[in-house]
Structure 1
Amino acid sequence: MKPRRYHGLKRPKLRQSWNKYNLYNLSRTPQPKMHISDGVTFFQQKWKAKGMLRDYHGEHVVERKWVRMFSRRLLSVAEMDTQYMAKSDGSELAAGRGSGRDGLPNWSNGSVYKRTMTPYMQMTFAPMERRLDIAVFRAMFASSTRQARQFCVHGAVRVNGKVMPYPAYRLNPGDMFQVDPERVLYATGAPKKDGGAGSSKKRSSAGDLEEDDPEAVLEEEAADAAEETPEAAEAAEEQDPETTDAAEPAVVDMKPTRKQIQELAARAKSILADDESLGVGQKRKLRQFVKDARPLLSRTGRPGATPGEIADELATMVSGLNLSESSDSSSSTENAATRKQPSSSSPSSANNDDPMSDLSESERKRLERRMAEYLREEEENPWDPSKPYRTPWRPREYMAPFAFIPKYLEVNHNVCAAVYLRHPVARVGTAEVPTPFPAAVNQLAFNWYLRRR
């Protein structure tokens, strides 16, 4: 039998999920008006309201378990002024279901404002918020309640320092729960691109400035890779492809080449940001170089990449990048050959070839600060192809509309831990149980569960 679609667009059901289809359903689903039509009985209204709310609040929980969790008590608090409480005992505010006894409005006023009531009916599914899996979802440690349940079952959630594999565990005020940070990064981060190379939009990170010229370093790496390439080819020819015990291919270390691409791209960005004396053509060349360096950087993480091929392409890109006023290719070739022999070159010629020589002292300091920021960002959020999520880490798409935390939770995302402070309560005008349905629908569902079995 074909399984049902979890997020349907023809007959939408609202879910506790960050899925883009669920966000679309939330945006286009109108507020139900079941209590207006005369052709629907009260029983049918309650049944429909109960079905819609159960699709959102803990649809993965069996109905009989929720019925045992249901409570007729609706917790609420009244906002009391401290100065008033110092003068009075609060008996006036305690009258009339905790929000004050209704008084007659002053009809002589120009406009009579409607009194703000306490939405008690929005607290129908407040006991469901005590479940561990739903609390993990509310704390933004998982992208859906089903994923939070999976984290609990797999032992990635701890309650008060102990592994809690039961997603139905009901939290008490003061309980602290913690989720494995790697699971949180996977759940809230952007998915990995095809090919296992991480993000194709790898940001450039600045490295320390080296005394050697980048072109000379690239040419040396290309020469080393060219020397290693024939040996690797001979070893590949000796292997018999039909044998089952063929030797595994040697893993090539691409970190030096990747680091060189990052340094060159960061250096080009810093020159674009700080140097105001560049011409239009020079800036265009630098932007094109940074743009071409991104796909080249992503290729370094693929299995079939070799330092020789990457170095040849990078050397071609660097040779086409000429920031000097003259565009003579022969002079740039002579400068590259001269830079290969640092012992015979004079300091003045080296400074003329170096694009950083034209920077002033203040511009150099700004460049150093910018590079320090790039290095710090690279250390905090590095590129790691072994992670199951995209690196450097980026939040997943369509996450912003769901980025809220209820007041009854105290969350620290640095350590992926949260404290269940208290049970959710209703206040004047607001309720702490997140729900996309109005109070009238919650009231019908509450009346459904009030019936005696």
Structure 2
Amino acid sequence: MRDANIFAFRKAMPRMSWSPRNLYNLWKRSCGAEAEAINFTRSPKTLFQQRWISKALVRAYHGDFINEKIFKRWYLPDTLPDVRPRQHALYSNGDLDAFAGRTEQLERAKKRAYDEQKKGLAPVGSLMLAEVERRIDVFIFRCCFAHSVYEARRLVIHGSVLLNGKKHTDANTRLAPGDMISVDPAAIRFLQNPESSKAEPEGEQPSDSELKTESSDLSQSMPSVKLAPTKSSLTPFNLPPYASPFIFIPAYAEVSFPTCSAIYVRHPTARPGYSEIPTPYDADGEVIRLAWEWYSKMRPRTRSKSQMAREPENRRVGGH
């Protein structure tokens, strides 16, 4: 984390965090005072300035804790993949297609063509950040095990995370499909009692003794009715303030909250009208496209043997 004041209101750069200050910056960039600053349709800024601003905003959210040289060398794809389905020839003779058994394929092709015409092409611009989503610290944050990606990074470094059953302390590791991560429940702040609950005034909530007496009275009056578990018998789960807009799980993650573990199922992808990579900007909008144009011109092209030896861990095959 290069900048100590990452939630500064003056810059208003969204980050991977559930902090209320970050929520305000996200609102400010989405529909607040800074929303027009990223609308480059009619902008007096030069193309270089537009690319620079877009690159700074994208990097602020997607991996501001990664060194810029390392990000350009190892976390950017050579080209953006084409996720559009292959077009099959549409034959006009329906009887011949039915005889050859091509009716189902034709229906699929027509449906894909209709989806592309209605929803547009797949937003492949966001796939430039697929390698960042593979990082173990980003994956922990996506699975809602940490309040921010910075906290998830500390969990990994301090040894509170297991990768396929073994302690793993390298936060730069990129996961492979099938990898399972497990987080120590004692290190998850969601499962800890917040300090604000201790300062609640008396009289608002009944005490444990009152709950026990009430439950015993109910059990005596209605012995055949099974009572629901009391509040003290449940696992405490305390969300941070203003967290409801951020509680979501990406499609490439299979999370088990009872065991505090998750499986990286596959690499994120995109389809017409939908991108699996969460981002505060349009998945194929101006900001993402201009950032890609910046990096496509400024990224290093050659990798020597010494540079290859310093590559962050990139797992190819997952396993338990």
What TM-score bracket applies, with the shorter chain setting the length? 0.7 to 0.9
1:262 matched residue in structure 2:
208
In the aligned structure 2, how far is the partner of 1:38 from the partner of 1:28?
19
In the aligned structure 1, how far is the partner of 2:81 from the partner of 2:278?
15
Report the CA distance shift for 1:91/1:58 in structure 2 as closer, same or farther (over 3 A): farther
1:168 matched residue in structure 2:
172
1:400 matched residue in structure 2:
244
Q: Is 1:442 the counterpart of 2:288 in the alignment?
A: yes
1:133 matched residue in structure 2:
137
In the aligned structure 2, how far is the partner of 1:188 from the partner of 1:67?
37
| Mapped contact 1:76–1:427 kept (Cα < 8 A) | no
1:153 matched residue in structure 2:
157
Report the CA distance shift for 1:90/1:393 in structure 2 as closer, same or farther (over 3 A): closer
Identity %: 32
Secondary structure in 2 matching 1:373? coil
1:26 matched residue in structure 2:
26
2:11 matched residue in structure 1:
11
Match of 1:65 among 62, 70, 95: 70
2:303 matched residue in structure 1:
none
Match of 1:378 among 232, 239, 258: 232
After TM superposition, give the deviation of residue 24 of structure 1 in Å: 1.7
| Mapped contact 1:141–1:188 kept (Cα < 8 A) | no
Q: Is 1:87 the counterpart of 2:93 in the alignment?
A: no
The amino acid of 2:226's aligned partner reads R
| Mapped contact 1:142–1:188 kept (Cα < 8 A) | no
After TM superposition, give the deviation of residue 117 of structure 1 in Å: 2.2
Deviations 1:320-364 (A, max 9, x none): xxxxxxxxxxxxxxxxxxxxxxxxxxxxxxxxxxxx9xxxx7x43
- Supply the RMSD in Å over aligned alpha carbons: 3.6
In the aligned structure 2, how far is the partner of 1:150 from the partner of 1:162?
17
Secondary structure in 2 matching 1:46? helix
In the aligned structure 2, how far is the partner of 1:188 from the partner of 1:443?
39
1:429 matched residue in structure 2:
273
1:192 matched residue in structure 2:
195
Q: Is 1:47 the counterpart of 2:43 in the alignment?
A: no
Deviations 1:200-219 (A, max 9, x none): 68965xxxxxxxxxxxxxxx
In the aligned structure 1, how far is the partner of 2:250 from the partner of 2:115?
30
In the aligned structure 2, how far is the partner of 1:76 from the partner of 1:403?
30
- The correspondence of residues 14-413 of structure 1 with structure 2, limited to 5 A, is 14-30=14-30, 31=35, 32-68=37-73, 69-75=75-81, 77=83, 87=102, 114-184=118-188, 186-187=189-190, 189=192, 191-193=194-196, 204=206, 262-267=208-213, 363-365=221-223, 369-370=226-227, 373-374=229-230, 377-381=231-235, 392-413=236-257
Secondary structure in 2 matching 1:423? coil
Report the CA distance shift for 1:54/1:188 in structure 2 as closer, same or farther (over 3 A): farther
In the aligned structure 2, how far is the partner of 1:93 from the partner of 1:46?
39
Deviations 1:148-198 (A, max 9, x none): 0000000011111111101000101111111111112x256562249xx58
Report the CA distance shift for 1:180/1:9 in structure 2 as closer, same or farther (over 3 A): same
After TM superposition, give the deviation of residue 38 of structure 1 in Å: 4.8
Secondary structure in 2 matching 1:369? coil
2:305 matched residue in structure 1:
none
The amino acid of 1:55's aligned partner reads A
In the aligned structure 2, how far is the partner of 1:141 from the partner of 1:176?
14
Deviations 1:376-420 (A, max 9, x none): x43334xxxxxxxxxx54322222111001001111011011111
Report the CA distance shift for 1:416/1:4 in structure 2 as closer, same or farther (over 3 A): closer
| Mapped contact 2:126–2:275 kept (Cα < 8 A) | yes
In the aligned structure 2, how far is the partner of 1:100 from the partner of 1:72?
28
In the aligned structure 1, how far is the partner of 2:143 from the partner of 2:115?
38
Larger Rg: 1
Report the CA distance shift for 1:190/1:46 in structure 2 as closer, same or farther (over 3 A): farther
Q: Which runs of 5+ in 1 are unaligned?
A: 104-112, 205-260, 275-355, 382-391
Report the CA distance shift for 1:4/1:157 in structure 2 as closer, same or farther (over 3 A): closer
| Mapped contact 1:190–1:395 kept (Cα < 8 A) | no
The amino acid of 2:58's aligned partner reads L
Deviations 1:95-150 (A, max 9, x none): xxxx65999xxxxxxxxx85522111122211100111000100111110100000
In the aligned structure 2, how far is the partner of 1:397 from the partner of 1:64?
35
In the aligned structure 1, how far is the partner of 2:70 from the partner of 2:10?
30
Secondary structure in 2 matching 1:125? helix
| Mapped contact 2:185–2:191 kept (Cα < 8 A) | no
| Mapped contact 1:152–1:164 kept (Cα < 8 A) | yes
After TM superposition, give the deviation of residue 446 of structure 1 in Å: 0.8
Secondary structure in 2 matching 1:177? strand
After TM superposition, give the deviation of residue 6 of structure 1 in Å: 2.4
